Amino acid sequence: MCGIVAYIGPREAYPIILKGLKRLEYRGYDSSGVALLDNDLRVYKKKGKVAELEDSLVGKDLHAHAGMGHTRWATHGEPNDRNAHPHSSSSGRLAMIHNGIIENYAQLKNELIRKGYKFVSDTDTEVLLNFIEDIQKNNNCGLEEAVRIALKRVVGAYVIILLDKESPDTIIAARKGSPLVIGIGKGEHFLASDASPIIEYTKEVVYVNDYELAILKADELILKNLGNEKLTPYVQSLDLELAAIEKGGYDHFMLKEIFEQPDTIFDCLRGRLDVTKGTITMAGIQQNIERLTKANRIIMVACGTSWHAGLVAEYIFEELCRIPVEVEYASEFRYRNPVIHPGDVIIAISQSGETADTIVAIEKAKENGAFILGVVNVVGSSIARISNAGAYTHAGPEIGVASTKAFTAQLTVLTMIALKVAKEKGTIDNTRYMQLLGELHSMPEKVKEVLKLSKPIEKLAARYKDAADALYLGRGYNFPVALEGALKLKEISYIHAEGYPAAEMKHGPIALVDEHLPVVFVATKDSYHEKIVSNIQEIKARKGKVIAVITQGDEIIEKMADDYIAIPESDELVAPILSAIPMQLLAYYIGVAKGYDVDKPRNLAKSVTVE
Ligand code: G6P
């Protein structure tokens, strides 16, 4: 949700910033802009994607050794040139970029208007910038002090980066709630929302914490808290390769990420699952095993696709561990005064580890004494850091806005955690335990089999791409997969789609069924098979078009469905890892067939760092 990047050092800043913005575009692409600082401070910005900004700057003098850039996901003010970042202060002395939301901006704006300030944009960012400038003028202080004073009055979440025309050798940045990484080079510094713009220059990074202020020169990094005390930066080494964030010959990141799943699931299992010894090694879980085995209740807290992973995990944990599970939208959980006890375990699921709603839900639960277990993909992210313990999903960077490989990695990790807890608690017998370890172990190979179906799914997509609506139905473990399938289609192809429990469709959605409505059944062989066969009959009787994801050799549904996708047989408990993949491919190919930018679907952002 908004990508920010900055550079100070001996190199030309603009090419570094531009490349960084392209890597961060998954965070928002409503507009973009750069500010370059040398003897003067130049700001260029434009509605639309980074490529449009780049085109508009051809032929301009972009020489500078310090600068910053922003790619926006609009919150305050529609996407246009005026609302694009960087914003300039009233005097023109300062420029600022911002990721987050200033909640009390209206009050600050009124105060400033009364003092005679005029605003050229509708953004909260311009308000904060002028508020800082006003403090600087009134207190006759330096920018650093003005920022510190201003931030004490700000309510909301932010990462801000400021340039001051009068100090061309300094960049000032601050963080609360939104992510900020500093890359430390030799006589140069980089700043960004994540490490992707930085890794080709340096692997030494510092993750800035909330309420911290960074004052950067080419050869100096000073980190302070808002009380003006110096802090010692904790320098970490990045474990990330450049290839992991490039398309590697695929047309889109989304397709690359779908095809990476045999490897990502393997990476997720690697070093943890040992089928011969019958062990699952997960240090974060082992160290807190009593918390989990003795939990009164588990609450899964997440958003979007991660929430769907939580729903699958609800079925798995209740079945294997016999612990009551609730699955909560993080945004609703936080604001409805939930009942939380110290014996509760919160499992926070997040690809990015930066989703604002999930972060505030965790904070709320922590206040009430709950134990927080993070299931997170991005190493070192905010959720990973605020959780009491956790397990990384190890899916590698996910850049396509629609989540794919992160989902199957989440399912893999959550299944391992449930198995570990069940074994410790004694709620699973050894035969079933060993069988499920074997099932997980076989997943990478089975996923490879599913991916061989991409061509037939592409053909299917061509046939259904003009549908106006679609219904996705599943039962049991496959019900959340139906929700995920519908979400993928909405995100990528803009076709209205709904996911439902297959039996529940009789209570409403069946009214939509006619010969034009494609109904996708996630109907692999499981304990609900006979029931879902009846549901398919009910749709066929009303002339709906049935596309079924089935288990290989299921002749019953093969004969009934208009189209089917047959995937390898697996235990029902792990079937979602396989059945999710045809959902991803179908949405992908429909989106491509309709000519959409599937990596950057309209209005969406990958990392939603505003509540
Ligand atoms: C955004 C993304 C989704 C993602 C959701 C939760 O909406 O577009 O793909 O599922 O955020 O993100 P998280 O990083 O917490 O899993």
Residue 26's pLDDT band, with cuts at 50, 70 and 90, is: confident
Cα–Cα distance for residue pair 584/370, rounded to 1 Å: 35
**Residue 439 CA: distances (Å) to CA of 261, 397, 476, 549:** 16, 26, 18, 19
> Is 15 buried (19+), middle (13-18) or exposed (0-12) by CB count in 10 A?
exposed
170 lines ligand 1 (CB under 6 A): no
Mean pLDDT of 402-425: 98
Q: What is the pLDDT of residues 505-553, one digit of tens each?
A: 889 888 888 889 999 999 999 998 999 999 999 999 999 999 999 999 9
Please give the pLDDT value at position 606: 77
Cα–Cα distance for residue pair 403/514, rounded to 1 Å: 31
Contact 267, 395 (CB under 8 A): yes
Predicted confidence (pLDDT) at residue 86 exceeds the cutoff of 90: yes
Predicted confidence (pLDDT) at residue 275 exceeds the cutoff of 80: yes
Domain boundaries along the sequence of the chain: 3-243, 253-450, 452-606
Neighbours of 387 (CB within 10 A): 23
- Per the residue annotation, which of 2, 268, 303, 321 is the catalytic one? 2
Residue 270's Cβ-side half-sphere holds a number of Cα atoms within 13 Å equal to 11
Please give the pLDDT value at position 482: 98
Cα–Cα distance for residue pair 587/281, rounded to 1 Å: 35
Please give the pLDDT value at position 248: 80
Predicted confidence (pLDDT) at residue 611 exceeds the cutoff of 80: no
Q: Which of 300, 377, 606, 609 most suits a substitution to test ligand 1, by most atoms within 8 Å of the C-beta?
A: 606
Contact 494, 602 (CB under 8 A): yes
Q: How many residues does the chain have?
A: 611
Does the annotation count 2 as an active-site position? Answer: yes
Please give the pLDDT value at position 249: 83
Any idea what DSSP says for residue 27? G
Q: Which helix (H) or strand (E) holds 346?
A: strand 344-350
Tell me which of 144 and 609 has the higher pLDDT: 144
350 lines ligand 1 (CB under 6 A): yes
Rounded to two decimals, what is the model's pTM?
0.83
Q: What is the pLDDT of residues 107-124, one digit of tens each?
A: 999 999 999 999 999 999
Q: Crossing angle of helices 261-269/430-451, nearest 10°?
A: 160
403 lines ligand 1 (CB under 6 A): yes
* Average pLDDT in the chain: 94
Collapsing DSSP to helix, strand or coil, 292 comes out as helix
Q: Which of 25, 354, 355, 376 most suits a substitution to test ligand 1, by most atoms within 8 Å of the C-beta?
A: 355
Cα–Cα distance for residue pair 466/381, rounded to 1 Å: 40
Q: Domain 3-243 class?
A: alpha beta
Q: Which of 39, 80, 42, 77 is nearest to 62 (CA)?
A: 42
User: How far is the centre of ligand 1, averaged over its atoms, from the C-alpha of 306 (Å)?
Assistant: 7
Contact 428, 418 (CB under 8 A): no
Q: Which of 489, 483, 477 is nearest to 505 (CA)?
A: 483
**Residue 216 CA: distances (Å) to CA of 99, 160, 168, 334, 460:** 19, 13, 11, 36, 54
Mean pLDDT of 184-196: 95
| CA angle, 284 then 289 then 295, to 5° | 120
User: How far is the centre of ligand 1, averaged over its atoms, from the C-alpha of 30 (Å)?
Assistant: 18
- Strand pairing partners for 376? 350, 392
Please give the pLDDT value at position 1: 67
Q: Which of 2, 172, 159, 164 is nearest to 70 (CA)?
A: 2
Q: Where are the alpha helices (DSSP H) in 64-204?
A: 105-114, 124-139, 143-153
306 lines ligand 1 (CB under 6 A): yes
**253-450 CATH choice from 3.40.640.10, 3.30.43.10, 3.40.50.10490, 3.40.50.300:** 3.40.50.10490
Please give the pLDDT value at position 506: 84
Q: What is the pLDDT of residues 29-79, one digit of tens each?
A: 889 999 999 989 999 999 999 999 999 999 999 999 999 999 988 877 888
Collapsing DSSP to helix, strand or coil, 6 comes out as strand
Does the annotation count 606 as an active-site position? Answer: yes
352 lines ligand 1 (CB under 6 A): yes
* CATH architecture assigned to 452-606: 3-Layer(aba) Sandwich (3.40)
Same fold flag, 253-450 and 452-606: yes
Q: Which of 329, 357, 328 is nearest to 344 (CA)?
A: 328
Cα–Cα distance for residue pair 355/345, rounded to 1 Å: 19
Q: Which of 496, 399, 484 is nearest to 29 (CA)?
A: 399
Contact 172, 215 (CB under 8 A): yes
Reading the block at residue 108, the tokens are: 């600050």
The beta-strand segments (E) located in 351-411 are 371-376, 389-392
Q: Which helix (H) or strand (E) holds 548?
A: strand 545-551
Cα–Cα distance for residue pair 72/28, rounded to 1 Å: 5
Cα–Cα distance for residue pair 536/519, rounded to 1 Å: 9
Cα–Cα distance for residue pair 360/335, rounded to 1 Å: 9
Q: Which of 403, 404, 602 most suits a substitution to test ligand 1, by most atoms within 8 Å of the C-beta?
A: 403
Collapsing DSSP to helix, strand or coil, 177 comes out as strand
Task: Report the percentage of the chain scoring pLDDT > 70.
Answer: 100
